[in-house]
Chains A and B, each alone.
Chain A
Amino acid sequence: MTQTTMNLALLSLGVCGILVALTILGEVLRARLPAGQANPVLDTYQTRVQSWWTIVALVAIALMAGQFGAVLLSFFASFAALREFLTLTTKARADHLSLALAFFAVLPLQYLFVWMGWHGMFTVFIPVYAFLVLPVVSALRGQPARFLIRVAETQWALMICVFCLSHVPALLSLDIAQMGDSNVLLIAFLILVVQFGDLLEYWFGRRIGKHRIAPELSPKTREGMIAGLLSAAAIGAALHWITPFGVLGAAGMAAAASLFGMMGHLVFAAIKRDRGVQDWSHLIPGQGGVLNQLDSVLFAAPVFYHLTRYIWAT
Chain B
Amino acid sequence: MKSILSLARSFAANIAGHALRLFALFVTAARADWRGVGPEPVQRVYYANHTSNGDLPMIWAVLPAALRRQTRPVAAADYWLKNRLRAFCGRDVFRGVLIDRRPEVNDNPMDKILAALDEGSSLIIFPEGKRNMTDDPLLPFKSGLYNIAKARPDVDLVPTWVANLNTIMPKGEVIPLPLICTVTFGAPVHVAEDETREVFLARAAHALADLRPEDPA
Known: A79-B178, A87-B180, A103-B177. A283 touches B29 (CB 8 A): yes
Bound-state CA distance A103–B26 (Å) is: 14
Q: Is the CB of A87 within 8 A of B179?
A: yes
Q: Kindly list chain B residues whose C-beta atoms are within 8 Å of the C-beta of A96.
A: 167, 170, 173, 175, 177
| Minimal beta-carbon separation of B182 from chain A (angstroms) | 9
Which residues 76-94 of A sit at the B interface, judged by CB distance below 8 A? 79-80, 83-84, 86-91, 93
Instruction: Report which of A83, A91, A281 forms a contact with B167, defined as CB distance below 8 A.
Output: A91
Q: Does B4 contact A (CB under 8 A)?
A: no
Q: Kindly list chain A residues whose C-beta atoms are within 8 Å of the C-beta of B150.
A: none
Which residues 264-296 of A sit at the B interface, judged by CB distance below 8 A? 275-277, 281-283
Q: Kindly list chain A residues whose C-beta atoms are within 8 Å of the C-beta of B164.
A: 87
Q: Is the CB of A83 within 8 A of B170?
A: no
Known: A90-B217, A275-B216, A276-B214. A281 touches B29 (CB 8 A): yes
| Minimal beta-carbon separation of A85 from chain B (angstroms) | 10
Q: Kindly list chain A residues whose C-beta atoms are within 8 Å of the C-beta of B68.
A: none
Q: Kindly list chain B residues whose C-beta atoms are within 8 Å of the C-beta of A90.
A: 216-217
Q: Does B190 contact A (CB under 8 A)?
A: no
Q: Does B197 contact A (CB under 8 A)?
A: no
Closest B residue to A100 by CB, please name it: B175
Number of interface residues of A (CB under 8 A): 25
Total contacts A to B, CB within 8 angstroms?
A: 43
Q: Kindly list chain A residues whose C-beta atoms are within 8 Å of the C-beta of B31.
A: 281-282
Q: Kindly list chain B residues whose C-beta atoms are within 8 Å of the C-beta of A203.
A: none
Known: A276-B214, A281-B29. A93 touches B179 (CB 8 A): no
Q: Does A99 contact B (CB under 8 A)?
A: yes
Q: Kindly list chain B residues whose C-beta atoms are within 8 Å of the C-beta of A88.
A: 216
Closest A residue to B166 by CB, please name it: A93
Q: Is the CB of B170 within 8 A of A86?
A: no
A137-154: CB near B (< 8 Å → 1, else 0) gives 000000000100100000
Bound-state CA distance A283–B178 (Å) is: 14
Q: Is the CB of A103 within 8 A of B173?
A: no
Instruction: Report which of A83, A103, A104, A276 forms a contact with B29, defined as CB distance below 8 A.
Output: A83
| Minimal beta-carbon separation of B181 from chain A (angstroms) | 9
Bound-state CA distance A282–B34 (Å) is: 14
Q: Is the CB of B216 within 8 A of A83?
A: no
Bound-state CA distance A90–B214 (Å) is: 13
Bound-state CA distance A90–B29 (Å) is: 20
Bound-state CA distance A86–B217 (Å) is: 11
Q: Is the CB of B173 within 8 A of A83?
A: no
Bound-state CA distance A158–B96 (Å) is: 40
| Minimal beta-carbon separation of B35 from chain A (angstroms) | 14
Known: A83-B29, A96-B173. A103 touches B214 (CB 8 A): no
Q: Kindly list chain A residues whose C-beta atoms are within 8 Å of the C-beta of B170.
A: 93, 96
Bound-state CA distance A84–B177 (Å) is: 12
Given contacts A103-B178, A281-B31, 18 further A-B contacts (CB under 8 A): A79-B178, A80-B29, A83-B178, A83-B179, A86-B177, A86-B179, A87-B164, A87-B180, A88-B216, A89-B216, A91-B217, A96-B170, A96-B177, A99-B177, A100-B177, A104-B175, A277-B216, A281-B29
Please list the residues of chain A having a beta carbon within 8 angstroms of any beta carbon in chain B. 79-80, 83-84, 86-91, 93, 96-97, 99-100, 103-104, 146, 149, 275-277, 281-283
Closest 10 pairs between A and B when the two form their complex, measured CB to CB? A90-B217, A87-B180, A100-B175, A87-B179, A88-B216, A275-B216, A83-B178, A96-B173, A99-B177, A281-B180
Could you pull out 5 A-B pairs where Cβ atoms are within 8 angstroms? A79-B178, A83-B29, A96-B167, A97-B175, A282-B31
